[in-house]
Chains A and B, each alone.
Chain A
């Protein structure tokens, strides 16, 4: 029972983790708390749902949803982020929140506010190990999430493009003097972050077989909490934070009750921040980033 819940917790955690990494890229490199990310998460699920309803095959529907999320993210970059450069740093935060509300309402108009049943795409295959039941879909989703984040971390650490991103994260002016084309890099980062969020939304829809216009909100807040728990700006911090919150949530639902979920999750956040203000893997400023 406990092991089963741990597996379920890690599955949910893997989704928080992807969204937390999307937030981490935005805040760590662009210094931008991008609140359109929960909207892109929702789009990943809802657009796939819409395309499936139109009769598209799954892979095409998923690719279409990721594509749309990337496009919307480029719009956020153009309309919200690019304008802040000289201005107040709070303005893009608020306008990205505007994008979230806009996306939610567009979906609401199209599909209504009710929860929609996302079709079961894959036959219900399970691995049975001892008394444990592990869904294959669940397992594959977790492998994809962890594999992607591990790849991203490797990419940032060892490639020229990764070093460019980390240079921009540390100091934009220096990055410019080193000949880094920031104008091109920033939109690329917005696309990356959007793909992570939308993939998370897609995996959520597949695993929990439901989509709603507002599915991004709760997840978004918990992903931000995960990022803070792990240490802002650290990818592995976002991984640990995401998995911890997923575990805390599932375990408290099954052992204490559904009403206390938010108390445990945000209580965990509070406790960790009191014990370690910079987060679990967070380092004092002016040290290694990402």
Chain B
């Protein structure tokens, strides 16, 4: 069953067209990855789904409801969440306050406490620094914090924007393990990545963007073997590693 349906959306920044005619579907329980070179429009797509940039045309449905015109906060309340590019940890808040911020719309405080404890169990490094300012964390720990914060929003679909960027190889494989684990627990995931190999390895479906358009979509294994995938990156002169 389709959880998220993006149909023919168009987004402009002034006179720059960032997305045009983009379709995307995420089914319940799937990991879908969106690939593409820098500037292809991947972040814009996630922002559009979250309602952080206005649509020029097209529509978005989430879990059966039309959310095309819904404000960001109500989309998040209905189960969409974004782990943004660059993580966007709040450095004037403590580690724990960053986690609590993820749950800022929830009123079930005892459940939230239990979930925060569960996150500490999963990431002991965060537990140790829970009362310190989040700026003291390493890049990898900050990414874990950003994901933990997103988990606390109780999402049904988690969107991650280049989560592996700037992480050590050890953290990258930890990250992909975590993504698989969250998905196994029932969370649907929309993953934007530059690390195409890893992303295609975990995804059930893949979509490739080039200059704001979908140029390829389908089975990740078939895509991984397709020479046009490399071209999509070389087209912008930014090959992935």
Contact = CB atoms under 8 A, between A and B. Distances in A.
Contacts of A110: none
Given A163-B101, A176-B52, A170 B93 contact: yes
Interface stretch (B58-66, B70-78, B168-176): B70-78
B90 A171 contact: yes
From A167, A170, A177, A286, residue with most partner B Cβ within 10 Å:
A177
B133 A288 contact: yes
A210 to B, nearest CB: 41
A174 B86 CA distance: 11
A289 B133 CA distance: 11
Interface of A (DSSP majority class): helix
A281 to B, nearest CB: 14
B178 interface: no
Interface in B86-129: 88, 90-93, 97, 100-105
Nearest to B153: A179
A176 B135 CA distance: 20
A169 B92 CA distance: 9
B43 to A, nearest CB: 11
Contacts of A166: 90, 92-93, 97
Nearest to A157: B97
B50 interface: yes
Nearest to B88: A174
Contacts of A177: 50, 52, 72, 82, 84, 88
A181 interface: yes
From A163, A286, A287, residue with most partner B Cβ within 10 Å:
A163
Nearest to B103: A160
A178 interface: yes
Contacts of A82: none
B92 A170 contact: yes
Nearest to A181: B73
A213 to B, nearest CB: 39
A188 to B, nearest CB: 14
Contact of A179 (B88, B93, B104): B104
Contacts of B93: 163, 166-167, 170
Contact of A176 (B72, B97, B149, B153): B72
Contacts of A287: 91-92, 133, 135
A178 B104 CA distance: 9
A213 B177 CA distance: 67
A178 B82 CA distance: 8
B90 A181 contact: no
A101 interface: no
B142 to A, nearest CB: 13
From A164, A169, A173, A174, residue with most partner B Cβ within 10 Å:
A174
A273 interface: no
A170 B101 CA distance: 13
Contacts of A160: 100, 103-105
Contacts of A174: 84, 88, 90
A94 interface: no
Given A163-B97, A163-B101, A171 B72 contact: no
Interface in B132-149: 133, 135, 149
A167 B153 contact: no
Interface in A152-199: 160, 163-164, 166-167, 169-171, 173-174, 176-181
A188 B135 CA distance: 29
Given A163-B97, A286-B135, A288-B133, A180 B104 contact: yes
A181 B71 CA distance: 9
A287 B93 CA distance: 9
Contact of B73 (A170, A179, A288, A289): A179
B44 to A, nearest CB: 13
Contacts of B71: 181
Nearest to A233: B92
A167 B77 contact: no
Nearest to A179: B76
A288 B97 CA distance: 12
Interface of B: 50, 52, 71-73, 75-77, 82, 84, 88, 90-93, 97, 100-105, 133, 135, 149, 153
19 contacts: A160-B104, A163-B97, A163-B101, A166-B90, A166-B92, A166-B93, A166-B97, A167-B93, A176-B72, A177-B52, A178-B102, A178-B104, A179-B76, A179-B153, A181-B71, A286-B91, A286-B92, A287-B133, A288-B133
- Top 9 nearest A-B pairs (CB, nearest first) are A179-B76, A179-B73, A174-B88, A160-B104, A289-B92, A181-B73, A170-B92, A288-B92, A163-B101
